[in-house]
Each structure stands twice: as structure tokens, then as C-alpha cells.
Amino acid sequence: MLKNLLRTALAGVLALASTGAYALEQASVQLKWVYQAQFAGYIVAQQKGFYKAQGLDVTIKPGGPDLAPPQVLAGGGVDFAVDWLPSALSAREKGVPMVNVAQFLTRAGGLITCWKVPGKTKPEEYFKGKTVGVAFGGNEYPFLSFAAHLNLTTSGANPDVKIIKLGFNVDPLLQHQADCIATQIYNEYYQILDAGITPDQLITFPYADYNVDTLEDGLYALQPKLNDPAFAAKAAHFLAGSIEGWKYAVEHPEEAAKIIVDNDPAGVAVYKIQLRQMKEIAKLVGSGGKAVGYLDPAAFDQTVAILLAGGSTPIITKKPEGAWTHAVWDKAEPEVK
């Protein structure tokens, strides 16, 4: 009789599970680039169980040079997307109601890297009449703002700067198809060095040195979805897990790098490279005394001002309204251990 009771109890548990009583809520996020330490917080949160602790089963979708996170988000392919603020604001002005719910990179890592020419130190000397490689899908906007700051044209029949599209690697620079390329200090810049090039062969122009640095990796959702209390609650749980993941990754870079390598769906991640990238990314996360994931309104306004001052072809034409919120972060942060 006892065995029958146990079987009945087990059957009841299984029945409840089959109806979803114990199922985790599904959530998904689109990355801006491939599976790497740039997105360590999300990857660590998934693999360390931080999302499950929030009641979520999270799918992480890698990106690439031909993928625009706003398009995936607008098409309903994911709940959340990682994107740079210039790209998100441009998409918003075009009708995609993207809202920044968190800002994990509070400092920009962007810079232009060129072959050094003896005697030349000014960016105008390196860009005017030259070819610059830039990744698209929203990655082009910081360089376009930089060029506008230098009063250099990038479009038309005879632009001052010819732009070519970058893919997954830095070959256009190495093969001298481009005089300069847009790089990130945690990624492409080191790819150039890994190819055997020494720093003294190069010259770099960090956007921050010219006060045209704009906010990079933030977390976005669509406003209509955020208006739904159930989705807003899910967003808070997802953000809470992400904040915990980012804090853990920054404090444990070696383990974070190993997690990325062990779980890379493409199987191409290299530990040495991911550890180096993780240490560089850690310098950009929640820096300047800012809480992890918190969007500084002043930094948002600075990005907007830079985009509005985009010369004859500004990235955006008017100051956005309702493009960010602290409501999700305010609910999420207290839940972080």
C-alpha cells in the first residue's frame, strides 16, 4: 500500500510539472556581437544559475556584423537586446520603440586605429582622403559622429572619408585595404597586435579624447511590452540576474573567461583572449562610482548632444523622449544578492 501511495504522489508531482507549475519562465536576449567576454555578465548569469534563481530560463542569441539588434527586437525575435545607444536612438527615431532599461558599460571602449605615418599626429591627417573600415549594424554611428566633429564628409560623390564595411576580422587593415579601422580596446585592437603588429606601428584616436564618446552596451526592451506589468516583472527578474552575473564576472575574471570558452556555441573562443577581454571589459562596467547597470542621465544627454551635432547628416534629428527608464533597475537592484 505504501508503494502505491508513493507512486500516486510521484505521479501527482509529474503531472504538476507537465502542466508547467514548476516551469521556468522563458526569456531571451540578443547580443550585439559574437559570444565573448563583452557579454560576460549575461553568459555567467546563465551558467551560474542566477537567472534560474530569478525563475527564468534564458536563451542567449549571438550576434554578428550583419545583424542589427533593433531589427531582431522589433520583429519579436527576443525579449531584450544589447545595443549601443547611438544605434538604439537611431532605430527609435525610425519607429522602433526601444527603451534603455540598464547601462552596463558606463565608459566607451571605441577608438580608431591607423597605420602610423611619421610626422603625422592629427586625426584629419589620417582620415581625409583615406579609407576607413567600420562595422555596420549600428556600429558605424560613433565613427560618423567623430568624422562630423572633424568636419569631414562620409557620403556623397566625393566624400572626405571612404568607408568600407568590416566583418569578423581586422584583415582590411592588415592587408592595407583600409588605412584605418574602427576598433574596440577590448577586441579588435588586440586582434591587430595578435597578428604580429607592434603598438609603435600604429596610432590610435580614442573617441573619449575628442569628447565624442557615446554610451555603448546597454540593455533594451520595447516600450509596449514594458507597459505590460507581467513583462515588466520579467524584465526586473532578468535584470536582477544580469546585474549579479556582471558583478560576478568582474570579480572573477578567470572563471568568467573559462565559462565563456566552455559554453561558446561556435567552439572558437580561446581562454587567453577571453581573459584579456574580460579584464578590459571590467574597466568599463559600472565605472566612475556608478552602480552596476545604472544609466547615468548625464551620460545619456551627452550621447544625445553628440548625435544631434552630426553635421549635415546627424544620427538623430531631435531629442528623444522616453528613451530610457530607471523603473526596471529600481525593482531589480534590491533583488541582487
Phi, psi of 288 (to 5 degrees): 70, 25
- Of the given ranges (9-18, 100-109, 164-173), which has the lowest mean pLDDT? 9-18
For the ranges 215-219, 286-290, 314-318, the one whose mean pLDDT is highest = 215-219
pLDDT band at residue 312 under the 50/70/90 scheme:
low
Average pLDDT of the segment spanning 31-55: 97
Q: 204: number of CA atoms within 13 Å, CB side?
A: 19
Residues 18 and 156: their CA atoms lie apart, in Å, by 60
Q: pLDDT for 319-328, tens place per residue?
A: 999 999 999 9
pLDDT band at residue 22 under the 50/70/90 scheme:
low
Q: Is the pLDDT of residue 18 over 50?
A: no
Q: pLDDT for 217-271, tens place per residue?
A: 999 999 999 999 999 999 999 999 999 999 999 999 999 999 999 999 999 999 9
Phi, psi of 61 (to 5 degrees): -105, 115
Which residues does residue 99 pair with via DSSP β-bridges, in sequence order?
221
Average pLDDT of the segment spanning 77-104: 97
Q: Give the residue among 250, 251, 274, 237 at the shortest CA–CA distance from 79.
A: 237
Domains and CATH numbers, the chain: 24-106+216-335 (3.40.190.10), 110-210 (3.40.190.10)
Q: Is the pLDDT of residue 10 over 70?
A: no
Pairing verdict, β 180-184 and 98-103: unpaired
- What is the pLDDT, as a whole number, of residue 11? 42
pLDDT band at residue 336 under the 50/70/90 scheme:
confident
- What is the pLDDT, as a whole number, of residue 3? 41
Residues 138 and 69: their CA atoms lie apart, in Å, by 9
Residues 257 and 3: their CA atoms lie apart, in Å, by 48
pLDDT band at residue 13 under the 50/70/90 scheme:
very low
Q: pLDDT for 112-144, tens place per residue?
A: 999 999 999 999 999 999 999 999 878 888 999
- What is the pLDDT, as a whole number, of residue 290? 63
Q: Which residues contact 25 (CB under 8 A, 6 or more apart)?
A: 55, 56, 57, 234, 237
Whole-angstrom CA distances from 89 to 173, 207, 243, 250 are: 29, 19, 23, 28
What sign does the CA torsion over 318, 183, 247, 40 have?
positive
Q: Give the residue among 75, 43, 86, 73 at the shortest CA–CA distance from 302.
A: 86
Query: Rg of the Cα trace of the chain?
Result: 22
pLDDT band at residue 289 under the 50/70/90 scheme:
low
Q: Is the pLDDT of residue 65 over 90?
A: no
- What is the pLDDT, as a whole number, of residue 125? 93
pLDDT band at residue 16 under the 50/70/90 scheme:
very low
Q: Give the residue among 281, 245, 188, 224 at the shortest CA–CA distance from 60.
A: 245
